[in-house]
Amino acid sequence: MNKGSETTTVSTPPQSATTEKRNETSAQRLAAPRSRVISRLISVVSAVAELLGAGNRRGGLVILAVLACGAVLLPVFLLTVFISANGTSGSAVLGLMLGLIVDLLVVLLLLGVVTHKMTSRRLATLTRSLRDLGTRTSNLEMSLGEQSEQLERQAIAAAATRAAVGTAVTDVGNRLQATQNLFALVSPRGPVPQMVGYVAAPDVLLVLVQKFLSLRPSLAIECGSGTSTLFLALAAQQYGINCRLVSLEHDPAYAEATRALVADHGVSHLVDIRHAALTTTPLTDHSGPWYDPAAFQDLHNIGLAFVDGPPGDVGPQARYPMIPLLADRLGNPCAILLDDMTRADERVVAERWMTQLEGFSYRYLPLTRGAGIFTRGC
């Protein structure tokens, strides 16, 4: 209970203080309009003084004082004039009234001019503020426009990045799955080179090995040696396919590297890696070089050909000569796998081959780098 009463005493202000506060507030409330009227009067007087003094308030105040004196003196003067002219009380009142009317008219005129001046000033200020607001709004509009354009550009870039990331993820997934499938078919006995860059991608190697296993050719050739050479040799070994494997390689260092690779995997005896320098051809519809004819002179009844060389930087349509030079060495059944069809050059090569290959049908394979397969009898 004690605690409660203590709280009440503390929270309630003393009666006298409250009354004082209330009185103060009402006094303030009463004083406010009065002070407003006074300050309004002062501002009108100072505006009139400024107007009369043409900007010089002190001079204006002097003129105002003179005018005020004039306003007082004018009715007195007219009163005196009218009395001395007629001498009647009626003319005295008339003189006084005339003086007061003139005073009133002057005051009204001054007030009108001052009000006009103040309104014009306010209008000018308002116009300036509106102009400022307009400028700020148009600046804001411009910056909003720029920001929205920037956002649009960022959205386009983000969409492109999303698409690129999506493609990259799909590509990695495809490579992973193709590698697993390839290794399920053929088991290398040690590490194999990374299947990126110049090396054939896992999905085209998988198609190559599958075609090799289904055709079981007696002669398989390839243009451009490397990891593909190893997988063909391993497939021949692991599936007991009695096939002559010939790999044409224009770069002696790369031929040596491929020989070392197949040796590492114990399949050197199953593949014939031939260094074949690139030389000019007798072809009239192609100007670039191809493998030295001495390297493919003895090849007949080709059952499978993997065309992955010469590399594109040798010249335009660098792989084209293969069909015009070896068409009469192709067997039946036969499959020709052309890699890197995502390149325009290889697509032109495929189109030209289609007009030259007899009895072959063609299919495009949407692999990592695109491939085209020409088949006859299989």
**Which spans of this chain sit near ligand SAM (rule: CB under 6 A)?**
198-200, 224-228, 249-251, 254, 308-309, 311
The two tokens of residue 150 are 């920037």
Query: Minimum Å distance from CB 278 to ligand SAM?
Result: 10
The closest of 224, 218, 312 to 276, measured between CA atoms, is: 224
In this complex, which beta carbon is closest to ligand SAM, that of residue 318 or of residue 357? 318
In this complex, which beta carbon is closest to ligand SAM, that of residue 110 or of residue 199? 199
In this complex, which beta carbon is closest to ligand SAM, that of residue 47 or of residue 271? 271
DSSP state letter for 268: G
Distance between CA atoms of 346 and 60, rounded to whole angstroms? 98
In this complex, which beta carbon is closest to ligand SAM, that of residue 78 or of residue 247? 247
Query: Minimum Å distance from CB 263 to ligand SAM?
Result: 16
In this complex, which beta carbon is closest to ligand SAM, that of residue 225 or of residue 368? 225
The two tokens of residue 95 are 């003189």
Query: Minimum Å distance from CB 274 to ligand SAM?
Result: 11
Query: Minimum Å distance from CB 246 to ligand SAM?
Result: 13
Nearest position to ligand SAM, beta carbon: 226
DSSP state letter for 285: S
The pairs formed by 175-184 with CB atoms below 8 angstroms and a separation of 24 or more are 175/201, 175/202, 175/203, 175/368, 178/202, 178/203, 178/205, 178/206, 178/368, 181/206, 182/206, 182/209, 182/231
Distance between CA atoms of 267 and 283, rounded to whole angstroms? 36
The two tokens of residue 66 are 């003179």
Query: Minimum Å distance from CB 343 to ligand SAM?
Result: 11
